[in-house]
A and B are shown apart, each in its own frame.
Chain A
Amino acid sequence: MNSKQARRPSNLGPQSIPSLLVISAAFVSGFCIMTIEMLGARIMAPYFGGSLSVWGSILTVFMLALACGYLIGGKLSARQPSLFNYAFFFLAAAALSLPIIFFADEIMRPIFLAIEDPRYGSLLASLFLYFLPTTILGMISPYSVRLLVENSDHSGQKAGLLFFVSTIGSAAGTLGTSFYLVLWFEVNEIVFGTAGALALIGAVLMVAGIRRGQVDGA
């Protein structure tokens, strides 16, 4: 595709990326996005209530974050795409989800004190709590496409497959969280589980990347 690709001919050969791994990873990221989004309202209700505008804030921030993530992820995928980078996204998303567990009150309390209108309070709080992890999760989508695409003839088909899988993951995350997970676990336990799943996928991808000698500079 470009000169950088040409310098690394073995980088993304047809056999080099196990598509099942990428597809599973896309499913998990889709699942986790919606799990966090569903819990978002629950996490913010103690400070900003359960009004429609709180949902509005959450959805807005998630959409903006995903938009940014798609752009950045797409851009990064054009530069030496590797399983290592891909794995790093998952690990980063896991790490950036942790403040939702450990600093939610510290983040929301000052915002609640400073801003009286729960609409803008919840918007700002959503931004601080969810923007970064969701942006990273958004980066995964275009990057997954790049890892799976072997030639331009099939690019649309692969992209379609990935969107399908990650959106099914999102549907499962939404339903699973709102119907069952909140009945079985505490909110923080579910966020922990989400971060754990992302970290696990990241670790698996990392191992797969190392096995294929794709670690940058290796």
Chain B
Amino acid sequence: MALKLRSVVFFIGLLTCSVLAAETLHEERSLYRDITVTQEGDRRCLVFNVHRGDRNQTCMNTVSPERLVFEYAKMTFAGLLLNPNPQKILIAGLGGGSLPSTLAKLYPDAEIDVVEIDQAVVNVAKQYFSFEETENVKVTVNDARVFVKRASLLDQRYDFVILDAFTGDYIPEHLLTEEFLEEVRAIMSPDGVLVANTFSTSRFYDHESVTYQKVFGEFFNFKLPSSGNRIIIARDAPLPPRGELAGVARSLAPSVEKFGVPLLEYPSRLSTRVDWDMSRRALTDQYSPSNLLRDN
């Protein structure tokens, strides 16, 4: 009886905690998803499709907003090891805007284009995550595929391209095909780097890896035990030797330290080892059932 009572009390306590802990600042149903902004202590998060149990999309520490909260956001900066001084940056997928905001601080002179499909996400990023459009940071509300195709018509070249358009539960299938990656490659400058934030689910992982390999050849695979994310770092030119990366890390680390990026730890984590089934089929515009593959 006492045990029962105690567990009831515990349960009620737990409920109260979770209610108190995450205060909802904003809720909105956009054209593409349910958007929720929550605040839990110092941590403010953007959550997509909260009712389906999605994880946080982006979080910001409201006390020290400079510091990146998520591991995957920090991991993205490993791409800079291959090109430490990008002048033109493209980011597909805004989220809370932590990546463009941080890159804008790191490279105040760089031109940063962000393409985001959902106007509501742009509004929320501005209102709740202190994201700002400036002279150098511009957001286009469009599909990334369309944006990249147009950029290539206009002969744009980017030194750093970040693909961050996958949410926890849905892959835009036309953004993970051989043809799309070829289009991305076409708008990359000769020493341009592509960083793709994705996840590591088994069968899908194989198809995704084979697709990237087909377009870029060998690429860096970046995973950390502390994160379920997987970062792909690719470029057109052959990959630099790892020793070179360590040198770049040493010179760049001090400037990214205030964002909470432990850059010095990254070079040894970048792997070129093929840990996927190479016999899997590459994803193309003709064959791209990514979401089905992911669930299988």
A188 to B285, CA, bound (A): 10
Cβ proximity bits B280-291 to A, threshold 8 Å, 1 near / 0 not: 000011111100
Let me know if B146 and A118 touch, CB within 8 A.
Answer: yes
Cβ proximity bits B177-212 to A, threshold 8 Å, 1 near / 0 not: 101100000000000000000000000000000000
Known: A50-B174, A51-B143. A187 touches B287 (CB 8 A): yes
Let me know if B174 and A46 touch, CB within 8 A.
Answer: yes
Q: Is B292 an interface residue (CB 8 A)?
A: yes
Among residues 11 to 59 in chain A, which have CB atoms less than 8 Å away from a CB atom of chain B?
Answer: 42, 45-52
**Smallest beta-carbon distance B201→chain A, Å:** 16
Let me know if B286 and A187 touch, CB within 8 A.
Answer: yes
Let me know if A46 and B285 touch, CB within 8 A.
Answer: yes
Known: A46-B179, A49-B174, A51-B117. A182 touches B289 (CB 8 A): yes
Q: Is A1 an interface residue (CB 8 A)?
A: no
Let me know if B146 and A47 touch, CB within 8 A.
Answer: yes
A53 to B207, CA, bound (A): 29
Known: A46-B174, A46-B180. A188 touches B145 (CB 8 A): no
Main secondary structure of the interface of A (DSSP, over half): helix
Give the interface size class of chain A.
20 to 34
Q: Is B173 an interface residue (CB 8 A)?
A: yes
Among residues 86 to 143 in chain A, which have CB atoms less than 8 Å away from a CB atom of chain B?
Answer: 112-113, 116, 118
Q: Is A186 an interface residue (CB 8 A)?
A: yes
Known: A186-B287, A187-B286. A113 touches B153 (CB 8 A): yes
Q: Which residue of chain A lies nearest to B293 when distances are taken between CB atoms in the complex?
A: A183
Contacts of B74 in A (CB 8 A): none
Of the candidates A113, A116, A188, the one whose C-beta lies within 8 Å of that of B286 is A188
Q: Is B11 an interface residue (CB 8 A)?
A: no
Let me know if A187 and B143 touch, CB within 8 A.
Answer: no
Let me know if A45 and B289 touch, CB within 8 A.
Answer: no
A112 to B142, CA, bound (A): 14
Let me know if B172 and A50 touch, CB within 8 A.
Answer: yes
Interface centre among B150, B287, B293, by most chain A C-beta atoms within 10 angstroms, is B287
Cβ proximity bits B257-296 to A, threshold 8 Å, 1 near / 0 not: 0000000000000000000000000001111110011000
Q: Is B67 an interface residue (CB 8 A)?
A: no
Known: A113-B153, A182-B292. A46 touches B145 (CB 8 A): yes
Q: Which residue of chain B lies nearest to A43 when distances are taken between CB atoms in the complex?
A: B285
Q: Is B32 an interface residue (CB 8 A)?
A: yes
Q: Which residue of chain B lies nearest to A184 when distances are taken between CB atoms in the complex?
A: B289
Let me know if A187 and B285 touch, CB within 8 A.
Answer: yes
Contacts of A45 in B (CB 8 A): 143, 145, 173-174, 285
Let me know if B286 and A112 touch, CB within 8 A.
Answer: no
A187 to B174, CA, bound (A): 13
Let me know if B143 and A48 touch, CB within 8 A.
Answer: yes
Q: Which residue of chain A lies nearest to B287 when distances are taken between CB atoms in the complex?
A: A186
Let me know if A52 and B173 touch, CB within 8 A.
Answer: no
Q: Which residue of chain A lies nearest to B285 when distances are taken between CB atoms in the complex?
A: A46
**Smallest beta-carbon distance A182→chain B, Å:** 5
Cβ proximity bits B143-177 to A, threshold 8 Å, 1 near / 0 not: 11110011001000000000000000000111001
Contacts of A183 in B (CB 8 A): 289, 292-293
Let me know if A49 and B145 touch, CB within 8 A.
Answer: yes
A72 to B177, CA, bound (A): 40
A113 to B146, CA, bound (A): 11
Contacts of A118 in B (CB 8 A): 142-143, 146
Contacts of B143 in A (CB 8 A): 45, 48-51, 118
A residues touching B (Cβ–Cβ < 8 Å)? 42, 45-52, 112-113, 116, 118, 179, 182-183, 185-188
Q: A49-B142, A186-B287, A187-B285 are in contact. List 11 more A-B contacts (CB 8 A).
A: A42-B285, A45-B173, A46-B145, A46-B149, A47-B146, A48-B143, A48-B146, A49-B143, A50-B172, A113-B153, A118-B142
Q: Could you list some 9 contacts between A and B, CB below 8 A?
A: A45-B143, A45-B174, A46-B145, A51-B143, A52-B32, A113-B153, A179-B292, A185-B287, A186-B287
User: What are the nearest 3 A-B pairs in CB distance?
Assistant: A49-B143, A45-B174, A186-B286
B residues touching A (Cβ–Cβ < 8 Å)? 31-32, 117, 142-146, 149-150, 153, 172-174, 177, 179-180, 284-289, 292-293
